[in-house]
Structure 1
Amino acid sequence: MNVPVEEIELSELSSNLTLLQSPVWATFKAGFGWDAHALRPTAGPWTGEAILVLVRRLAPGLTLAYVPYGPSCQCAPAELLAATLTDLGASLAAALPVTPVCVRFDLLWEAGSLEPPEQGGGASASLPGAAKPGRVRKAPLDVQPPSTVLIDLNHSPDELLAGMHKKNRYNIRLAERKGVMVRAAGSVELDRWYDLYRETALRDRITIHSLRYYRRLFELARDSIDLSLHLYLAEHDGDLLAGIIVAEFGDQATYLYGASSNDKRSLMPNYALQWTAILHARETGLATYDLFGVPPADDPAHPMHGLYRFKTGFGGRLVHRAGSWDVVTRPKRYGAYRCAEKARSFYFHRMSKAAVR
């Protein structure tokens, strides 16, 4: 079924649902290689919802449309999800200047009816009930981490501490006893943080953006009434040990980026940083703190098992979201693109394992 959509101004995007569907995020990504479009269905389950669609040219004749954390809710019964998502994706694609190879939805919905047979998606990883088998496919890569930890901030500091793993409580207090000082820094100190971030990237073999990318995000936050961006730095005897960037948007704080030194790691600065950010979010009146990204299970063999133990140790609820799903609009080109993404995924998986060794 064709879902009629209309193009609207970016300013009409929601300013309270999620940062990645906001006018601020649209403007931000438009400065780094994406074309931002705001589209609104005028019929169907998501009638009236403004949806941010980011479009990127990958190669001559090949573009990708990406919907970060949208649509906002699962507005159809499980047996109809494939059909409704297919209709929405096809209509969004038709409203764009160039037909993309697919429309990739990064769904906030909690996993359940959208569970694929296995992560990464094989030939059978399509939604049940699809009118055309394979038209909706689990993406080879999840753009945003599908599993995360959400901390309910409607508790006292003592209750939040009591809900943590004893190791996290101990390390928070250890950092304090050892004289680790955490402070909120302004964007003028982004250069110091970024030097540390590059050190982190080399150690952990991760890809990071240029300093200009993070500086631009702070510039937009400064001029926004909806987004607050905070840079927290942990120091000891004048040495910068670690730093994190946390976004506060709507009723939620989200840990976005973290950097840490190779030195004085035994002082546990990262625990002190997260605790400071959690307390600030609570004092601001926010409802939740999102630690943004963990492995799906407590698996010692996982290359990021340490990250799982660190983040889940702060308490909170482990949430598994549906992840990235593709509505295929150009099947022949999509097949080639999917193979290329799978190869890229295999490469980065090998890199992450090498980093653990």
Structure 2
Amino acid sequence: MIVTLTPNPSVDRAVTVQALQRGEVLRAAAARVDAGGKGVNVSRALAAAGEDTLVVLPSGGPEGSLLEALLERASIRRAVVPIPHGVRMNISVLEPDGTTTKLNEPGPRLSEADVEALLEAALAPLGAGDWVAGCGSLPPGAPGDLYATLVRRAKGRGARVAIDTSGAPLAEAIPAAPSLIKPNREELAEFAGRPLETLGAVIGVARELVAGGIELVAVSLGRDGAVLVTAEEAVHARAFVTDPVSTVGAGDCMLAGLLSGLARGEALADALAEGVRWGAAAVRLPGTEVPRPGDLSDIDVALTADPDTSLPLHD
């Protein structure tokens, strides 16, 4: 069982244009609408692969009704905390070369009771060894230590906790020592307070976090793949995508593949390779569409347990 908690879900609309031109009237070549938010995307990818997952989220207003209908259509189990306000709607503008421009709303304000109900809904199904992933930004009203509270309570039940967020919520969650964190390079650099321009610099910060009590640090690196660091090893994985369509949600799919492998007891390198494969497959799909097993078969992943620490990373 992999539970995902998404305190700030969304309805994601992706619009494809020939070129984004500020101040102009543009004709869309295509458009699609998906249930969104980091944790929702993780559960969508897991469900598409046939994994047992539950998405926990707040929902309200007409946007929430649409969000729930999209989850129902995808046959995704969910635990919904009703709120009086509509969930946010995010827009991604996609260009043919893979360039993505995102417009994200802040989301509805949550009350103290809403936050407690979300935590209880995420914790209720957990047994020893299960994974729960707290993912995404926090909406207005949510306390900055929400994910730290999730970590402490879930660990008390013997569950394993993954956190995928940034900024203050990540900084507050780290001292609680989640089992896994999955920042991207920019989020890790923000936490470290310095630019991370090489693979070695990323691994160095990850090792500092592991020394502080986090078991696994997985860092997504865009076209440079991802690195997974533990107390014993650092593994780098890359997949090469020549036909990118949309990068939106690719990191979420990477986390879904990684969690899928870890939940099945795969070796760390194999679990990382699975995550990178899922993320690469997502880049070839429109909007926040998640890959299905057939989308993964032709993606080769290069793995190394002896990473080149001097490797410069792409912007």
Q: State the TM-score, normalizing by the size of structure 2.
A: 0.31
Which structure has the bigger radius of gyration? 1
Q: RCO (CA 8 Å, sep 6+): is it higher in 1 or 2?
A: 1
